[in-house]
Chains A and B, each alone.
Chain A
Amino acid sequence: GAVVSQHPSWVICKSGTSVKIECRSLDFQATTMFWYRQFPKQSLMLMATSNEGSKATYEQGVEKDKFLINHASLTLSTLTVTSAHPEDSSFYICSATLGWTSPYEQYFGPGTRLTVT
């Protein structure tokens, strides 16, 4: 149980275009989802926390207008990188919690590798 999927697993886009990454909890309802960014040989950096039906809470230094997060349902959150640039190339990972039963543990998706050319 507690499986999280991401789509696509990798994507290449041209500079200036937008790209959407989906994060789904497959067998549970996720009240809270998180989005992380990981540069090569670095740790995971939390970008934002999203709760179903409300606006995402962004970490300091993360551009809200550039990284649009939508948590439309209890099983789906999306991250849209708008007007992507090469410096946005990174590995993006989402995670979800099992609601109030175990809010302290996150279940991670397999990640999406974004390359902006």
Chain B
Amino acid sequence: AQKVTQAQTEISVVEKEDVTLDCVYETRDTTYYLFWYKQPPSGELVFLIRRNSFDEQNEISGRYSWNFQKSTSSFNFTITASQVVDSAVYFCALSEGTTSGTYKYIFGTGTRLKVLA
């Protein structure tokens, strides 16, 4: 069963528009961590934000903001005033513990964002 769902496969916006990327997750754990990563064409994953299951405080960092809602199991990401350099694939990931004691990531399928000049 899909545990991290990014329903938006591809989004195209015009520069300066705001865009929200959706992420819905599923877990039975009470302690878990959520992440957003950006993957530009170079391929290297760029860390954007981490949230643990006990911290529902939403955050704004420059043009980026995040909305974490446990009630709906969602962890959405908004870019305000998008720029061409924001064009990339964005991955949402859930980190949860395993029976062996390690944590594993479950990645969503990614959302490809294209910002047009």
Contacts and interface: CB of A to CB of B under 8 A. Distances in A.
A106 B105 contact: yes
Contacts, number: 54
B62 interface: no
Interface string A25-67: 0000000101000100111101001010000010000000000
A41 B95 CA distance: 22
A103 B37 CA distance: 18
B64 interface: no
Interface in A63-110: 91, 93, 95, 97, 103-110
Interface of B: prevailing SS: strand
A113 interface: yes
B45 A104 contact: no
Given A43-B91, A57-B100, A111-B43, A105 B107 contact: no
Given A43-B110, A105-B33, A105-B50, A111 B105 contact: no
Interface residues of B, number: 24
B103 A43 contact: no
A7 to B, nearest CB: 14
B44 interface: yes
Given A49-B104, A57-B100, A103-B102, A93 B50 contact: no
A93 B104 contact: no
A105 to B, nearest CB: 6
B109 interface: yes
B29 to A, nearest CB: 11
Contacts of B50: 105
Interface of B: 32-33, 35, 37, 42-45, 47, 50, 52, 91, 95, 97, 100, 102-105, 107-110, 112
Closest 6 CB pairs of A and B: A110-B44, A104-B103, A108-B45, A111-B43, A104-B95, A104-B33
